[in-house]
Each structure stands twice: as structure tokens, then as C-alpha cells.
Amino acid sequence: MKKVKREIRLSQCMIVKNEEKNIRQALSWGKGLMCEQIVVDTGSMDQTVQIAEEMGAKVFQFQWCDDFSAAKNYAIDQAGGEWIAFLDADEYFTAESAGKIFSVIQKAEDETRSGKGWQAILVKMVNIQNGKLGSSGQHVRIFRNDPHLRYENRIHEVLKYSGQEQVRAYDAREELIIYHTGYSQEAYKRTGKTQRNIRLLEKNLKDNPRDAESLAYLGDSYLSKEQYDKAKECFHRALKYGEEDKKIPPKEILRILSMLLILYARESDPKDEKTVRELYGKSREIYRDHPDPDYYFGAWLYQNRHYKEAEGYLKNALEKYNSYRGTLWVYMSGNLKLYFAQLADCCRQLEKKEDVIRYSVMSLGVDRYYTESLVMFLNIMKEEDGEAETASKSWEILSQLYNMSSLKDQMTVLKGAKLTLFLSLENRVYNAMPAEQRRAVQEALSEK
């Protein structure tokens, strides 16, 4: 007789404050999947609570006490499901992922019965910044409703199982993806998250000035406010205390090193060469397979015109990026357009024309409206003998990237052709337009 599997009851939990712009989407993805949706409000002054109640959520009030773990643990206490999906209001599962949640939980339960003992589910997290994919990493967002599983830390809270070093999590990063929209500048300004985080982190540091993790998170907050000098100071102090005290894991040291390399690559001051090389060397000692240190060290070298050396590190970064299967955040994934453009320009400086074409096209594959990469591609193509034939080849390649019946895409390619004085390609773009549209575009351009 075939064994019938029991239904899994899953509760969705979240804590919120002034999330009227996000709460509907935050609840919509789980509507119909959850046995209940629990919203713990920490003092909203907008329509968050009303919208949540309209959508059928169970809403509870929690007196804010400057402790995210306390609020989240209160939400867990209200849950009746066997498993809990705990996402922030600015996070949501894709529709495809949401449809796989129960099958993933079932796999985790089946493996637990065979001795694995999974307590939680590890999912992939992708940050959305200004409408585009940003950095990616992993988080535990689904876990058993177990009294031994609770959050710890006042801010940047972590799920812990009492008596264990870390939570045992089933790896579902290939199946479950969460998008996080809360890292945009607009979101930070609207919610005041940055100032709140700074206040709580400074509160932590007053009690423990050598807390490397709090210093690193404080650096993140200053970075989001574009206060780069303060961010760098925090990350350097975090690195110093983290190395001296040996109380934070190597993965966090690597993240601190990566953030410092990001800041130094942004400034690209040649006087920092010794420091940058030392930071990169330390990252290699910790974890050789992560792509970020190679990318940002390569970016610093590129900005300082060490093109040959930069090419090597940038190519190493791409190889590592394509093969990386670890659990650490990858910041390079939010910069692929720029990464490929930098690598293409390195190759241009080294007169490697085929590589310039390859990497500039890859940059356009990430963002086809990135003018710098389009111009680089067209300049190389235009150098070939026979402009008419080269225009035909360029058109063939660009037709794989652009919708040549779209006015926006046509105008993008036309702009690139004009900037590179690629007359034959310019004519190809005009010829692809309907006569009336072509005349309108030509008249509009002639008036500029």
C-alpha cells in the first residue's frame, strides 16, 4: 500500500514598522500556501497594520526595545505551524521558488528521518538595487518551529539552536531564491534604517569596543550613507580586532577584507598600493576560491593602469565566479557589467582585439544600454578592413543583444554608431526603421 505523506503546516512570520509600500507583496507570495501569516508590528505610523489585516494576517503589537531578536522571537512564539518561513517585509520568494517550498521541506524531513537532522533550510538571497540584480549570498529563512531555535543579537540577528555551534541547514540554494529590495538608497532614506542601525551598533560598541562584527556592520551602515572614510575606518578596526581576538569566523574576516578592497578600488589611490596588496594577500590566506578579492584587487590595478597584472586577476575572478559554490556573499555579482567592461578595456590596452569583443559583448549581455561597452565594441569592430562588411558583422552580433524593432534599442545602437563615427552601421540602423519613424528620428537628431 502506498504511503500517504502528511500535509506540512507552514507559518509565515515577519516583524514590521512602516512598511505600507512592501507589506502587500510580502504577504501575497505566501497567500494560500501558509497555514497562517503572522505580522508583528513594532510601532507603524502608516497603513501597514490596516493592509496586513485586510489581507487576512494575524497582527500582533510588540513594544520596541531596540532588540530585533526579541521582536522576532515574539513572532515565533505566536506561530502554530510545524515550520516557519521568516522573511522581512522587503523580501519575497519568486513565484517559481514559492511553488517548491513544500517539496524542499519534504526532502529535508525525509533526510532527517534517515539521520541527517536538518533543522532549517538554506536559501539563495539576491539583492535588488535600483531595479537590477545586485550581490548574492545565502540565508536561513525557513526553519522548524522548535523551542530550541531562537534568534540572538540585538541587531544583525542570527538564528541559533541552543547548545549547538550552528544551525544544521538543508542546502536548497539551487531551488529557492529570495529577492531583497531593501538595500536601495531610496529604501534606506524612506525607512531610516541606516540611522537606526548606527544607533544600535554604537550601543553594542559602547558595551564592547572590540566587537569586530559590530564594527564591520557599522562600516556597512556608513557605506550605505556614502561616508566612505568612516566606513574604511570601521572596517580597518574590525579587521584589527578580529585578527587579534580570533572571535569571529574566517568567513567574516574575508568579508571585511573584501569591503576594504571595494573601498580602495573605488578610490584607486596609487599611494595605497602596499596596503591593497597586503589586504589581497590576507584574503588569499583565508579562502582562495572566492572571486571578490581577485575582482576588486584587479579593479584597483586596472584603475592604476597596471593593465597586464590587472588582466590576470580579473580573469582569475571570472574563473572563480563561474565555479564558486560556497555559502559566502558574492559582491562581484552586482558589478558584472562594470567587471566585463574593465576586463575588455584591459584587453584593449594590451591590443587583444578578440578579447575586447568577447568581454564587451558580455558586458552588454548584462546591460545592453551600457554605452561605454557598446562604444568599446564598435571601436574595435570599426578598425577591421571594409567598413560595410564590418557593419554587417556588428549588426549580426548586436541583433543577438538588442531588439532591433524596439525604438529604444535602435536609438541605443544609433548613439553608439554616431559616437564611434561608424557610418555604415548608422545606415543599417536607419534602414531597419519604418520610413516615417526614420524621418522623425533624423529630424530630432538634426535639431540637437
Burial (CB count <10 Å: 0-12, 13-18, 19+), residue 99: exposed
pLDDT of residue 6: 52
Average pLDDT over residues 24-35: 94
Tell whether 1 is covered by a domain: no
Q: Note the helical H segments in 225-333.
A: 228-245, 250-267, 273-286, 291-303, 307-323
Question: Cell numbers 516615417 correspond to what residue?
Answer: 436
How far is residue 413's CA from residue 82's CA, in Å, rounded to a whole number?
A: 55
Q: Where does the pLDDT of residue 273 fall: very low under 50, low under 70, confident under 90, or very high at 90 and above?
A: very high
What mean pLDDT, rounded, does the chain reach? 91
Q: Which helix (H) or strand (E) holds 126?
A: strand 120-129
- Kindly give the pairing relationship between strand 169-171 and strand 120-129: parallel
- 298 and 436, same domain (yes or no): no
Packing angle between helix 307-323 and helix 291-303, nearest 10 degrees?
Answer: 160
Radius of gyration of the chain, Cα coordinates, nearest whole angstrom:
26
Q: How confident is the model over 348-355, as a mean pLDDT?
A: 96
Q: In the chain, what is the greatest distance between 2 CA atoms, to the nearest angstrom?
A: 80
DSSP state of 45: -
User: Nine-digit cell at 2?
Assistant: 502506498
pLDDT in tens, 206-255: 989 999 999 999 999 999 899 999 999 999 999 999 999 887 889 899 99
Q: How far apart are CA 284 and CA 294, in angstroms?
A: 9
What pLDDT was estimated at residue 101?
A: 96
Q: Is residue 4 part of a domain?
A: no
Structural contact between residues 167 and 160, judged by C-beta atoms closer than 8 angstroms: yes
- What is the C-alpha separation between 314 and 293, in angstroms, rounded? 10
Using one digit for the tens of pLDDT, what is the confidence trace for 390-418?
A: 899 999 999 999 998 888 999 999 999 99
Residues 254 and 271 in one domain: yes
Q: pLDDT band for position 383 (50/70/90)?
A: confident
| Cα 385 from Cα 400, distance rounded (Å) | 23
Give 152-196 pLDDT, tens digit per residue: 988 989 999 998 878 999 999 999 999 998 754 554 555 567 888
Give the range of the structural domain holding residue 422, as residue numbers without chain letter.
Answer: 351-446
Residues 336 and 308 in one domain: yes
Report which DSSP code applies to 332.
G
Residues 155 and 49 occupy one common structural domain? yes
* Co-location of 399 and 358 in the same domain: yes
Do 229 and 277 have their domain in common? yes
Q: What is the b/e burial string over 237-249, where b = at least 16 CB atoms within 10 angstroms of the residue's CB?
A: bbbebbeeeeebe
Count of other CB atoms within 10 angstroms of residue 340: 24
Last residue of a domain, one of 149, 183, 217: 183
Q: Last residue of some domain: 183, 200, 218?
A: 183
Q: How far is CA 374 from CA 145, 237, 371, 379, in A?
A: 52, 41, 5, 9
φ and ψ of 139, to 5 deg: -150, 160
Calculate the CA 73 to chain-centre distance: 27
Among the candidates 183, 213, 238, a domain finishes at: 183
Q: Within this chain, do residues 199 and 249 fall inside the same structural domain, yes or no?
A: yes
Q: For residue range 87-126, list pLDDT tens digits in order.
A: 999 999 988 999 999 999 999 999 988 777 899 999 999 9
Whether 118 and 201 map to the same domain: the answer is: no
- Whether 345 maps to a domain, the answer reads no
> What integer is the mean pLDDT of 352-377?
96
Q: Using a pLDDT cut of 70, give the percent of the chain over it.
A: 95
- CA–CA dist 205, 235 (Å, integer): 14
Measured between alpha carbons, how far is 343 from 71 in angstroms, rounded to an integer? 46
Quote the pLDDT of residue 4. 37
Same domain, 44 and 161: yes
The answer to whether residue 2 scores a pLDDT higher than 50 is no
Residue 7 CB burial class (10 angstroms; 0-12, 13-18, ≥19): exposed
**211 and 150 both lie in a single domain:** no
Give the N- to C-terminal CA distance of the chain in Å, as an integer.
78
> Taking a C-beta distance cutoff of 8 angstroms, is the pair 338, 367 a contact?
no
Residue among 170, 173, 148, 174 at smallest CA distance from 159: 148
Q: What is the rounded CA–CA span in Å between residue 244 and residue 247?
A: 8
Confidence grade of residue 332 (pLDDT, cut at 50, 70, 90): very high
Q: Which helix (H) or strand (E) holds 202?
A: helix 193-207
Q: Pull the grid cell for residue 165.
A: 555551534
